[in-house]
Every structure is written in C-alpha cells, then in structure tokens.
Amino acid sequence: MVFENEKEIHTDFKKRMTYGDYLSLDSILASQNRLSDHHDEMLFIVIHQVSELWMKLALHEVNAAIKAIQQEAYQPSFKMLARVSSIQRQIIQAWDVLATMTPSEYMEFRDYLGQASGFQSYQYRMLEFALGYKTKHVLKIYEKDPELHKTLQKAYEAPGLYDVSIKALEKEGFEIDQEVLTRDVRNSYEVNESVQRAWEEVYRDTERYWNLYQLAEKLVDIEDAFQQWRFRHMKTVERIIGHKKGTGGSSGVGYLKQVLDHYFFPELWSLRTTL
C-alpha cells in the first residue's frame, strides 16, 4: 500500500489496531512467569502485578496533584487526590484475595523467591517519597541500575505533597516558620508548631479557608488509606508466615509493625486533639 502522507499512515494503523494491540496485552499476559508449578504462585504474582499497576496510576496522580497545588489549581488537585484514595481502596481490598492463601500453600513456593521482597518495590518508595517519607538508605538497593537510581534520586530530592500544601498555607497568609519553608526536602518531614497553628485556624474557620480545608481532608484520606494498607499487609503477613524472618532480610512482622508508627502529615492528626 502506498501512503500519500503521514495522516493517512496514522489513520490506516488506527483502523487495523485491535484491543490487544492498544493495551499491549501480549506482553502483559505473557508476564505471569511462575518459578514453581504450585497452583497458588499464580495468585501471588497477579496480586503483586495488579498492585504495581495501581501504584503506577497513583504516582501519576500524586505527582500531577503536587504540580496543580503549586499552581494553586486546587479543584483539579482534589479530583486527582480523590482518585488516589479510590485506588488505595482497591489495593487494600486485594489483601482479601491474597489471604485465601494458607501458610502451607505459601511455604510450597516461598523458597523459590530467594531474596526477592516487596522491600525492593521502587514504585512503593516513589510513593513514600512523594508523600514526604524520605528513607535515604533504600536508594542503595538500586545502585546497580543507574537509570532507575536516577529516577528515584529525583523523586527523593523533590518536594512532597505536604511541602507544597504547607506552601499553600503560606500563600494564604499564614505565618509559617522559615525553617519549614526552606527545609531540605531530602529529609523526612518533621513536626512544626507554626504548621499546626495554621491548620488549626483552617479547621476553625472552614468557610474562609474552604480550599485549604478540603485539601487537608484529602491528605488525611490518603494517609488513612496508606496506614490501612500497611496494617493489612502486616496482618496478612502474620497469618501467612507468622514471625518468620523476611526474604528481604528484615525481622518480618516486627519490621512491618514498626513502620506503622510513621506519620506523613503529623499536624493534620494532632490538630484533632487540640481543636
């Protein structure tokens, strides 16, 4: 076939494109590669792949929301953040499916996993970074993959969702300590009194600060769901492997319990006591 111009080529390609082509189903559906022939390994792989796909969309939304907040486009940011919470509900529900696997079933293929662990999920780390939890030591895992390391380093050095939200408080006229506004965003966010006072005022005069009030509640939705995910992970791990050590080298359930203590947006929680 001879094409007159680029548009024609494009139109012809589109006409012949199928459902499977568009969604790259050949590669997606050829990626459930079991190492054992145990029936439940398929479940294990699919749950992880589904979670990673949802994380990809969540990251896309959180990063766009960060930009929108920086540009004071609050309404669009709320839509994106609401979508993130909705995605989180999906991956929390996924634990129910995984919990249908018993300890005996998992132990039949666990050894095949070697030292692989969810600890190495770089999208999970990118999400934590975007939410302001900056654990530098995890970057080390990716040193052997320069491309990936660079992507993670960039996310590590960028301001998080809470940083841009605090900046929004300042833009609205709240007095925020300079040390918070110019903080080194490569560190995890730490509690600050001026931030607490500002959010308290937002919650006391919600009509005046409607956008900031809505933003705060969207952040609480996300942190709440993130904690639910962490909790379900910890409990599902406990029911499947008890207190065995993790393949990633951690203590296992003990480690996962400890991570539960971390707050992303601490003042949004403590204001509930002081309000």
Asked if 102 contacts 238 with a C-beta cutoff of 8 angstroms, the reply is: no
Tell me the one-letter amino acid at 6.
Answer: E
Window contacting ligand HEM (CB under 6 A); options: 18-26, 117-125, 156-164, 206-214: 117-125
Residues 48-107 that bind ligand HEM (CB under 6 A): 48, 51, 98, 106
Q: CA angle, 87 as apex, 126 and 154 as ends, to 5°?
A: 15
According to CB under 6 A, which residues from 117 to 146 bind ligand NFK? 117-118
Asked if 116 touches ligand NFK (CB under 6 A), the answer is yes
Among 119, 213, 231, 263, binds ligand HEM (CB under 6 A): 119
Interface mask toward ligand NFK for 16-55; x: CB under 6 A: --------------------------------x-------
CB 273, min distance to ligand HEM, A: 26
Q: Which stretch binds ligand NFK (CB under 6 A): 5-13, 124-132, 210-218, 239-247?
A: 239-247
Decide whether 146 or 242 has the Cβ nearer to ligand NFK: 242
Residue 123 near residue 56, CB atoms below 8 Å: yes
What does the H/E/C string look like for 142-199? HCCCHHHHHHHHHHHHCCCHHHHHHHHHHHCCCCCCHHHHCCCCCCCCCCCHHHHHHH
Residue 250 touches which member of ligand NFK, ligand HEM, none, C-beta under 5-8 Å by kind: ligand HEM
* Residue 233 assigned to a binding site: yes
Out of ligand HEM, ligand NFK, none, what residue 82 binds, judged by CB under 5 to 8 A for its kind, is: none
118 binds ligand HEM (CB under 6 A): yes
**Cα→Cα distances 162→107, 187, 214, 260, Å:** 41, 13, 14, 19
Closest by Cα among 70, 239, 240, 259 to 161: 70
124 binds, among ligand HEM, ligand NFK, none (CB under 5 to 8 A by kind): ligand HEM
Strand (E) or helix (H) holding 25? helix 25-28
* Tokens standing for residue 220: 């609480």
Using CB atoms, what's the residue nearest to ligand NFK? 118
List, as one string, the DSSP characters of 189-234: P---HHHHHHHHHHHHSTTTTHHHHHHHHHHHHHHHHHHHHHHHHH
User: Closest Cα to residue 106, out of 30, 31, 47?
Assistant: 47
Instruction: Please give the structure tokens belonging to residue 70.
Output: 């920086």
Judge whether 110 is annotated as a binding position. yes
In single-letter form, the type of residue at position 16 comes to R
> Is 47 labelled as part of a ligand binding site?
yes
Q: Smallest distance, Å, CB 15 to ligand HEM?
A: 38
Contacts to ligand HEM by CB under 6 A: 47-48, 51, 98, 106, 117-119, 121, 124, 233, 237, 240-241, 246-250, 252, 255-256, 259
As annotated, the binding site for substrate includes: 44-48, 106, 110, 247
